[in-house]
Amino acid sequence: MASEMIVNHQEKAYALLQADAEKILRLIKVQMDNLTMPQCPLYEEVLDTQMFGLSREIDFAARLGLIDIKDGKALLDQLERELSALHDAFKRK
């Protein structure tokens, strides 16, 4: 029973981190579509702040043993790749 609870908490923690990563991606998409260019300091500040916050969440969850740090870093890497692809697509417009 206790091991099921631990697994459930781990799954929930990772799902929440994934949801936060998706929010960042959506936020940046909206910002790029409606507000600013990727070279704008506001864009960079929002991106840096959001990515830093997510990395701290991942570190916290890893320290609690809710996720493996490798999984958290993989989530960050995936988000960075998606943001880079989005940035490249925006520049091609």
CATH number for the domain harbouring residue 66:
1.10.287.750
| pTM exceeds 0.85 for this model | no
> What pLDDT was estimated at residue 30?
81
Question: Which residues 6+ apart lie within 8 Å of 75 measured at CB?
Answer: 14, 17, 18, 21, 58
**CA dist 39 to 42, 43, 73, 83, 87, Å?**
9, 7, 26, 14, 10
Structural domain tally of the chain?
1
State pLDDT tens for residues 43-80. Answer: 778 788 999 999 999 999 999 999 999 999 999 999 99
Residues spanned by the domain of 61: 2-92
User: What distance in Å separates the CA atoms of residue 4 and residue 6, rounded to the nearest whole number?
Assistant: 5
